[in-house]
Amino acid sequence: MKKSFLIIAFFTLFAHSILAQSAPQSAGYSNASVSIKFFDRTMYYPGSADDNPIFVHVTIKNKGPETLRFKLADDRMFSVDFTAFTVKNTRLEHTDALTRKRTTNQTVYFREISLETGEEYSFVENAKNFLKFDEPSVYYIELSFYPELYKSKYKELKSNRLTLEVRPTPSAASSSFIPISAGTAEILQPEQISPDKVVEQTIVARQKSLWDQYFLYIDLEEMLKSDPLRRNKYGASSAEDGEKMINDFKAALMSDTIEKDIVAIPERFEIKRTDYSQTEGTVTVYEWFKYKNFYEKKEYIYHVRQRDGIWRIYGYSVNNLGTE
């Protein structure tokens, strides 16, 4: 009996040892938190880290009663890492520069940071130095912090998650349909144009796959609330959760997983009728969708609303008109 007890005790201790080694966070950092937010947020496009950086503000906080101590490398590629996924759950690759640094033998210089209860330490990093944002899309991005540096990856602190939209690079081709100032924030400024022009520019933007211009005149919040279930959930959510719902709704539209009629791409279209008062209106449009041997014709009725001189689409209905 004594022998059996010793064997069982040995395996129990061995299992505890294995679990302790594989834990993502050590007990010494259980009271540390890592949070991220965009720093000086602007429009983000594919391209180099220098020309169009994605600056992220990183904050490490001591939430416990004891002093928090951790290492911070002078080259923060050895202290933090970014992870990003597309709406289709595809993970982005690391940059070549990051991979070379971490696979080359070199001395890593670092400082030891001490934080008392409630104290924070913050710094800013360019996410494009870590990840390849080669395609326009909506990404979900988070950060890992290694308090004992990258080579001790089993000690890892995870941040919150951010929604990042990387827009298509403005081109000369797009400006022939929709006036923009390429490379400036003016691309996001809607103009005081009539309801029919709002609808026309929105459809053309979709035909050209220019998502930034497509959403310029769409009221995403009202569109989201058109579904009763989404409306109830949105109404009961906090401001932060409500913003996330809108961003997720936008991402779902871009990935063509919901509201497929509004993001469908017509081969051609014709505005048939526009009716509006000072604040409300409708724009009726015939749209043709090309298939292999025929065209499908549909009647779209766009519901628009005017606020502060700007008309925006907040709803729509679709009627099938047969084939041609």
Last residue of a domain, one of 97, 131, 166: 166
Q: Please report, for residues 188, 207, 210, 262, 309, the alpha-carbon distance to residue 213 in angstroms, rounded to integers and kept in the order given.
A: 7, 11, 6, 15, 18
**Which CATH number is 13's domain given?**
2.60.40.2360
Give yes or no for residue 176 having a pLDDT over 50. Answer: no
Give yes or no for residue 171 having a pLDDT over 50. Answer: no
Same domain, yes or no, for 196 and 302?
A: yes
Q: Please report, for residues 61, 96, 117, 322, the alpha-carbon distance to residue 126 in angstroms, rounded to integers and kept in the order given.
A: 20, 15, 28, 52
Same domain, yes or no, for 116 and 94?
A: yes
Is the model more confident about 152 or about 318? 318
Give yes or no for residue 175 having a pLDDT over 90. Answer: no
Same domain, yes or no, for 300 and 223?
A: yes
Q: Give the separation between CA 105 and CA 249, rounded to whole angstroms.
A: 45
Share of the chain above pLDDT 70, in %: 85
pLDDT in tens, 22-50: 344 445 788 899 999 988 777 788 878 88
Least confident of 64-73, 183-192, 277-286, 292-301: 183-192
The DSSP code sequence of 141-195 is EEEEE-TT-GGGTTS-EEEEEEEEEEPPPP-HHHHTTS---TTSGGGG------H
Q: Give the separation between CA 245 and CA 284, rounded to whole angstroms.
A: 29
Give yes or no for residue 174 having a pLDDT over 50. Answer: no
* pLDDT at residue 317 in the model: 94
* pLDDT at residue 184 in the model: 42
Same domain, yes or no, for 127 and 157?
A: yes
pLDDT in tens, 210-239: 888 888 999 999 999 998 998 898 888 887
Same domain, yes or no, for 103 and 184?
A: no
Find out whether 127 and 78 touch, Cβ atoms under 8 Å: no
pLDDT in tens, 108-146: 889 999 999 999 999 999 999 999 998 888 899 999 999
Q: Average pLDDT of 289-306? A: 93
Nearest to 68 by CA among 77, 81, 59: 59
Q: Give the separation between CA 160 and CA 31, rounded to whole angstroms.
A: 15
Confidence of residue 2 (pLDDT cuts 50, 70, 90): very low
Same domain, yes or no, for 88 and 145?
A: yes
* pLDDT at residue 24 in the model: 43
Confidence of residue 319 (pLDDT cuts 50, 70, 90): very high
* pLDDT at residue 188 in the model: 56
Give the chain's end-to-end CA distance (angstroms, integer).
87
Q: Average pLDDT of 98-117? A: 89
* pLDDT at residue 1 in the model: 40
Q: Average pLDDT of 90-100? A: 91
Same domain, yes or no, for 121 and 18?
A: yes
Same domain, yes or no, for 127 and 38?
A: yes
Same domain, yes or no, for 119 and 193?
A: no
The structure tokens 């871009």 sit at 254
Same domain, yes or no, for 96 and 213?
A: no
Same domain, yes or no, for 31 and 108?
A: yes
Nearest to 317 by CA among 293, 291, 290, 282: 282
Q: Give the separation between CA 135 and CA 129, rounded to whole angstroms.
A: 16
Give yes or no for residue 81 having a pLDDT over 70. Answer: yes
**Which CATH number is 237's domain given?**
3.10.450.50
Q: Which residue range is the domain that position 80 belongs to?
A: 2-166
Same domain, yes or no, for 156 and 178?
A: no
Q: What is the rounded average pLDDT for all residues in the chain?
A: 82
* pLDDT at residue 195 in the model: 92
Q: Please report, for residues 24, 44, 133, 294, the alpha-carbon distance to residue 255 in angstroms, rounded to integers and kept in the order given.
A: 33, 18, 17, 26
Find out whether 138 and 247 touch, Cβ atoms under 8 Å: yes
CB atoms within 10 A of CB 203: 20
Q: Average pLDDT of 174-181? A: 41
Q: Give the separation between CA 33 and CA 174, rounded to whole angstroms.
A: 44
Last residue of a domain, one of 119, 139, 166: 166
* pLDDT at residue 237 in the model: 82
- HSE-CB at 12 with a 13 A cutoff on CA atoms is 6
Last residue of a domain, one of 122, 145, 166: 166
Q: Say how many domains are in the chain.
A: 2
CB atoms within 10 A of CB 196: 20
* pLDDT at residue 126 in the model: 92
pLDDT in tens, 235-274: 888 877 888 888 888 888 888 778 888 999 999 999 999 9
CA 249 from centre of chain: 11
The DSSP code sequence of 246-291 is HHHHHHHHHTTSS-HHHH---SEEEEEEEEE-SSEEEEEEEEEEE-
Q: Nearest 5 degrees, angle CA 127-CA 188-CA 264?
A: 90
Q: Give the separation between CA 55 and CA 39, rounded to whole angstroms.
A: 5
Three-state DSSP class for 133?
coil
